[in-house]
């Protein structure tokens, strides 16, 4: 899993994806535990096209 951007909320424009992270350290690739990959595969199998464009993000109240 690669992290290469930041989701931000801009007043009057909504939620946007920046093409960079807050710091260089934020840009990284990790190997999540297998249960995380299973969860993402299940979500991917049931999501709609609009969700694909939004990507995966966690909000203040969860996914």
> Is the confidence at residue 48, as pLDDT, over 80?
no
14 Rama sector, left if φ>0, alpha if ψ -120 to 50, beta otherwise: left
- Comparison of pLDDT for 51 and 11, the residue scoring more: 11
Write down the pTM of the prediction: 0.48
DSSP H helices, the chain, are: 34-46, 49-54
Q: What is the mean pLDDT of the chain?
A: 80
Query: What mean pLDDT do residues 3-21 have?
Result: 89
CA distance 60 to 31: 24
Q: pLDDT digits over 25-46, tens only?
A: 888 999 999 999 898 888 877 7
Mean pLDDT of 47-59: 58
- pLDDT, average across residues 6-27: 90
């Amino acid at each position: 899993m690669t992290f290469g951007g930041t989701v931000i909320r801009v007043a009057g424009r909504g939620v946007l994806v920046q093409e960079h992270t807050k710091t260089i350290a934020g840009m990284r690739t990790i190997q999540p535990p297998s249960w995380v990959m299973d969860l993402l595969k299940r979500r991917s199998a049931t999501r709609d096209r609009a969700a694909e464009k939004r990507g995966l993000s966690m909000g203040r109240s969860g996914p």
